[in-house]
């Protein structure tokens, strides 16, 4: 079903000068979730303090879970600038409340008194369906899991690049729209197979408070052997392993619809998959079929408490470089068995010590996660050394070298740093970091 026996999947041919010239042109959007907490390290119980028509600051599952949505940006720098601007807006608003609140900088939640004190976001009127959906999620998965927060990375390749690639792609009388859909379906398959690498380089949540596991027991640090709890078996996963059809966009959509029709998920939004293809505007499967793919979304990035803004700009650059690299390599085997391996690789990469857990590579070797990561990163280095102009080469090599260093010395990984800094008082020390961050942010001129 999923072996792509029809048309060959589209890949970027960097031997073409126009493709090569436009290779790094594209648009980026970031989504960052964060919990609002009170001065004692518990969930804020206040209503969302921002206008419901504010498209850049919204709510996720919880009433106290703010989500920043940047606009579609032409560069990593512009996306980061917007992330900083909206983070500043939130922190300054929270500091001016009658009882000041803070943005919790970790993917894992702080103290939890009980499930009823995890406040589901409230909607009414034309948006009542959002309330019903959150009630459904609360019933099915419980509210504790919904307190994990993270960052989503959205990327679209430039029309200039894809038009250039379309002109040299020989596939009958295929329309540009069909080519573009085929390109993104191919990319989604490859991103699904390699998304474990994004988890490995961004994992930053090794500690949980005991109240996540045991009702009423606060202040005990729990280390469960994970570097990213939300991407591990504890995190955002469905109660089954979805198998998608990457043959073409229609079959891709139909394979998701099948799970809705079977009652395994409520809607496409409930497919907790690390990679999504999305249309422009609202995420609806009909739009994906009718209007075509606009961009790809990667959903497995932890909040980085070591960064003032929740993510290191070097990691944003890297994820873009990874997607561009994947768009140039041949298609991968995405049969049902390989998809099961891919999901398990993602969960394995969420472990703390990546030299004690394996992934299965695309050529069916078994390697330590750290060794497999360095292998892919070195391949990326070789690709960019032979592809990009000299004025960009040093910058890109530095970005990839920054990631390699995380696997050559585990002390460079965020999860290892966070554990050392916040062990023996995760929430107390985290609360102190909140206050320091908010003070620093409020002093920032932006």
Comparing CA positions, the residue from 35, 45, 50, 255 lying closest to residue 147 is 35
> What would the DSSP string read from start to end of 343-400?
HHHHHHHTBS-TTSSEEE-TTS-EEEHHHHHHHHHHHHHHHHHTTS-HHHHHHHHHHH
Categorize the per-residue pLDDT at 6 as very low, low, confident or very high, splitting at 50, 70 and 90.
Answer: very low
223 located within any domain: yes
Identify whether 114 is part of a domain. yes
316 located within any domain: yes
**Confidence class for position 440, pLDDT limits 50, 70, 90:** confident
Per-residue exposure over 175-193, b if at least 16 CB sit within 10 Å of its own CB, e if not:
eeebbbbbbbbbbbbbbbb
Is 5 among the domain residues?
no
- R_g (Cα) of the chain, nearest Å: 21
Structure tokens at 73: 């940006």
Check pLDDT > 60 for residue 446.
no
Q: For residue 3, is pLDDT > 70?
A: no
User: Contact at 8 Å (CB) between 381 and 405?
Assistant: no
Average pLDDT over residues 88-113: 95
Has residue 124 got a pLDDT over 80? yes
Residue 4: is its pLDDT beyond 60? Answer: no
Residue 198: inside a domain, yes or no?
yes
Higher pLDDT residue, 5 or 180? 180
pLDDT per position as a tens digit, 230-240: 999 999 899 99
Average pLDDT over residues 261-271: 94
The helix/strand/coil state of 291 is coil
Q: Is residue 368 part of a domain?
A: yes
Q: Which residue has the higher pLDDT, 173 or 277?
A: 277
Q: What average pLDDT does this structure show over 384-393? A: 95
Confidence band (pLDDT; 50, 70, 90) for 281? Answer: confident
Read off the CATH number of the domain in which 306 is found.
Answer: 3.30.590.20
Q: Share the mean pLDDT of the chain.
A: 94
What average pLDDT does range 420-437 have in this prediction? 94
State the Cα angle at 253 between 247 and 256, rounded to 5°.
110
pLDDT over 70 at 131, yes or no: yes
β 26-37/57-59 pair status: unpaired
Average pLDDT rounded to a whole number, residues 187-202: 98
Residue 210: how many other CB atoms lie within 10 Å: 18
DSSP strand pairing (295-302 vs 275-278): antiparallel
Query: Considering only 30-39, 259-268, 389-398, 430-439, which range has the smallest mean pLDDT?
Result: 430-439
Q: Which pLDDT tens digit goes with each residue over 43-76?
A: 999 999 999 899 999 999 999 999 999 999 999 9
- Is the model more confident about 299 or about 439? 299
Residue 11 domain flag: no
- Beta strands 102-104 and 150-157: pairing type? unpaired
How many domains, in total, are found in the chain? 1
Dump strand ranges (E) for 74-206: 102-104, 150-157
Structure confidence by residue, pLDDT tens digits, 15-36:
999 999 999 999 999 999 999 9
| Number of neighbouring beta carbons within 10 Å of residue 367 | 14
pLDDT by residue (tens digit) across 328-356?
A: 999 999 999 999 999 999 999 999 999 99
Answer whether residue 444 shows pLDDT above 80: no
pLDDT of residue 8: 61
Which residue range forms the structural domain that includes residue 349? 17-442
Where residue 144 falls among pLDDT bands split at 50, 70, 90? very high
| pLDDT tier, 173 (very low <50, low <70, confident <90, very high otherwise) | confident
Exposure pattern of 212-248 as b/e (b: 16+ CB <10 Å)?
beeeeeeeebbeeebbbbbbbebbbbbeeebbbbbbb
Q: Please report whether residue 216 resides in a domain.
A: yes
Enter the pTM of the model. Answer: 0.95
- Confidence class for position 445, pLDDT limits 50, 70, 90: low
Q: What pLDDT, on the 0 to 100 scale, is given for residue 435?
A: 87
Rounded Cα gap, residues 401 and 404, in angstroms: 5
């Amino acid at each position: 079903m999923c072996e792509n026996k029809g048309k060959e999947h589209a890949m970027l041919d960097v031997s073409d000068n126009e493709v090569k010239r436009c290779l790094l042109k594209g648009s980026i959007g970031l989504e960052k979730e964060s919990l609002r907490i009170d001065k004692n390290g518990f969930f804020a119980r206040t209503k969302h303090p921002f206008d419901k028509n504010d498209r850049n600051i919204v709510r996720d599952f919880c009433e106290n879970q703010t989500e920043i949505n940047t606009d579609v940006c032409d560069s990593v720098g512009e996306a980061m600038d917007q992330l900083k601007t909206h983070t500043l807006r939130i922190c300054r608003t929270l500091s001016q409340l009658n009882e000041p609140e803070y943005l919790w900088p970790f993917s894992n939640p702080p103290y939890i008194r009980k499930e009823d004190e995890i406040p589901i976001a409230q909607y009414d009127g034309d948006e009542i369906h959002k309330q019903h959906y959150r009630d459904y999620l609360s019933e099915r998965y419980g509210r504790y899991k919904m307190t994990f927060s993270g960052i989503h990375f959205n990327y679209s390749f430039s029309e200039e690049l894809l038009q250039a690639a379309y002109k040299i792609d020989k596939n009958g009388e295929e329309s540009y729209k069909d080519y573009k859909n085929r390109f993104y379906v191919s990319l989604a398959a490859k991103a699904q197979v390699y998304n474990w690498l994004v988890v490995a380089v961004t994992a930053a949540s090794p500690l949980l408070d005991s109240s996540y596991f045991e009702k009423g027991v606060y202040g005990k640090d729990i280390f469960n052997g994970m570097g990213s709890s939300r991407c591990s078996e504890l995190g955002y996963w469905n109660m089954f392993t979805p198998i998608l059809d990457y043959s073409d966009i229609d079959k891709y959509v139909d394979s998701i619809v099948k799970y809705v029709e079977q009652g395994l998920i409520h809607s496409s939004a409930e497919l907790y998959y690390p990679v999504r293809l999305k249309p422009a505007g609202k995420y609806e499967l009909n739009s994906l079929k009718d209007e075509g793919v606009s961009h790809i979304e990667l959903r497995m990035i932890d909040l980085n408490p070591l960064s003032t803004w929740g993510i290191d700009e070097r990691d944003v650059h890297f994820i873009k470089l990874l997607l561009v690299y994947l768009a140039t390599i041949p298609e991968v085997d995405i049969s049902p068995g390989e998809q099961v391996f891919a999901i398990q690789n993602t969960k394995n990469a969420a472990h703390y010590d990546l030299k004690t857990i394996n992934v299965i590579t695309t050529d069916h070797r078994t390697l330590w996660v750290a060794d497999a990561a360095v292998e892919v990163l070195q391949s990326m280095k070789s690709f960019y050394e032979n592809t990009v102009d000299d004025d960009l080469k040093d910058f890109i090599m530095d970005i990839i070298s920054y990631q390699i260093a995380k696997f050559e010395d585990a002390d460079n990984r965020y999860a290892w740093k966070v554990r050392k800094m916040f062990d023996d008082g995760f929430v107390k020390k985290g609360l102190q970091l909140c206050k320091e961050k908010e003070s620093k942010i409020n002093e920032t001129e932006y």
